[in-house]
Each structure stands twice: as structure tokens, then as C-alpha cells.
Structure 1
Amino acid sequence: MSGMTEVSSLTGRLLVATPALADPNFDRAVVLLLDHDEEGSLGVVLNRPTPVDVGDILEGWGELAGEPGVVFQGGPVSLDSALGVAVIPGGASGESAPLGWRRVHGAIGLVDLETPPELLASALGSLRIFAGYAGWGPGQLEDELVEGAWYVVESEPGDVSSPAPERLWREVLRRQRNELAMVATYPDDPSLN
């Protein structure tokens, strides 16, 4: 393995849970990878809305969050911390990137929730707030990929702000141009077949 020093980064890609993935935390999860390198990986689950309104926990951000305007459970780690993921149309290149926003991939970036919301309001295409995140230690995600737990697919900016998160798993699979599109038809309970 000595030649494999560099991990090819999956930052900005989606991990889509395969039907084989047994962890209930990630059943039919669609995870946006915000960071992936040899030190590990970090992402947020895009399709786990909670009943909590963004405005109830983060003053000023509620009206900027897209529909549904609730906090999403980003994953099982650090559930008491909030992460903001925002799409800036046009990808805000160089010095035009708004204060308080850090590009992750293309037009998708992380928002510093300490920034006054009004500084970002005009630039934001969409915003979603996540409580907690999904994390993997060094090599852990690679092991899960080898085991067939996840499909890795390209993200689209609209995935972050899908107005119907309960349909996101199927929608992401359905747009793939290969056998993954067939997985989208996988029944919720295979024992019912």
C-alpha cells in the first residue's frame, strides 16, 4: 500500500446508502461529503428532516432556510452542534465569495453560523441547517465502499435543498445512467416481494 499515499477525494460527492447497508442511522440515507481525505471523512445526511423549525434554534436564519424550513439531522455525531450548508448561485468565485461562506464543491459551501445572516441573505441560493454530522475515521469510509455499503454519485446543487427530502434517495438513484437507476425501484421491505 506504500504507493497509495493520496486518497482520491470524494468531497462534494453524494454517498447513497445501498439496500445492503444495515446501520439504521443510514437507512436510505443520502450523504453529502463535505470533507474527505486521508484523515477521514465528514458529511451530512440530506434526507432526515426533524420537526424542529430553524428559527426556533437559530435566530435570523429561519427565513433564509428553504422549504421545509426545519433542521435536518445531519448524522449521529455532535447532535447539539449546527452546520449550515448553502448553495451560492454561480459558485461565487475568488474574492466575490460572500463573507461567512466557504466553498466545499462547486456552488455548495459551508456557512459560518456566527456570521450575521443579513450579510449572506442576498447571495444565498439555498440554505439548509443540519444538527450533527456523519463522520468516518481514516480508511473507514473506504472499507465501507469496498463492502458495498454506499453508491458514490455526483451531487447536484438542488440536492442540498430538495423540497421533498423523503423522495431524495429515489430521485438521486433514478437520475443515474446505469444499473443504479434500477435500485430506485427497490421495495421498502424486501420481504414483501
Structure 2
Amino acid sequence: MDAALTLTIEAFADTIIPGEKRFPGDRAVAGAAEGGGAVAAGALVLLRDPAGGLAPALDSLAVSLNDHATRYAGGRALPLDDDVPAFVALPFADRTALVEELTAWEHPEHEMWVGLALFSNMAFDSAAHLHTAEAFAAGHPGLLTLGYAPPGPDGVWQFPSFSYGRELALPHPGTTATGSPS
């Protein structure tokens, strides 16, 4: 994937879950929200992973997205900066409006755009491309924003008190001291 197509896919992911710019001249990330968004959470890494199934289609999705952005801008007389791909050149509000149009149920291509949106979201809300312990160690923005509980000092995820703030049921009488059923 060349740089222009990478910028396009990053701009799409940033439209789904916005974040702050990575550097002052960042064009893909619009800076529409504080903290890290889908791009900082690793959306591009997840989308490029062959296991997800979208990797072979990313180039054509980026080309199609830029074609849609050119049409969208032309229909609204919006000037586009030729220094970046058409979707990246759109103001954030227009990126959002175009993505809403593309993911609408009645749009003939909605399934592929919804799929791209879901993977962008998945990178943020579950760090699906990382081992959870690695994601926490790296300060993954999505897990931290959503309030996932980090592992304890022993590296084990457990609740020192009841996760719902109260005991929901008594343990089975055959449960061992380590929590295993008998």
C-alpha cells in the first residue's frame, strides 16, 4: 500500500473514532478529539493483518473512497487540496457526512464500508491485533479510554471485590479454594 492509500485508510479510521493529531502537519488524523483514536490504537495494523480478511481489499477500498470523496466534493463545490488524497482533503465534518452516506443501509456498497468501520472500531475498543497485556504495557488508548481493568501486579486479571459491586450468587459448594469447580 503506497503512502497516499495509507493516508486514506487512516483518515477513514480517524473518522470512525477520532483522535488528536500525531504531529503538527498530520493530514490523515483531523484532530477532532483529544487523546488517541482509532489510528493511535492501531487500526491500520489490524486492517493489514491477513487474518482479518480485509488486507487484500485495502488498496481498492482506498481508491474507491477517494473516488467517492471526489464525487462528494464536486457535488458541493468543495475545493480539494491536490497534495493529499481526496478523502484526506475533506474537512472532518464532510468526511463524517460521506462515511454516513457510505455506511447507510440503502447504499449499494454499505457492507464493505461497515466492515472497514467495524475493524477501525475493533482496533480501538478491544486491541484485537495485540495481546491484552502488551496493549496495556504500551498504554493502548482505547482500552484506557473504555476503562478496561489492567492486570494485577501478578499479571492476572481478577477483581479483588465483586465486579458488579456486590456478590451476585453464592459459589457452588464444590468450588475449590483456587476457584476451580470440583
**Which band: TM-score by shorter chain?**
under 0.3
Q: Say which one has the larger Rg.
A: 2
TM-score normalized by the length of structure 2 = 0.27
Q: RCO higher in 1 or 2 (8 Å CA, sep ≥ 6)? A: 1
In terms of fraction of residues, the more strand-rich structure is: 1
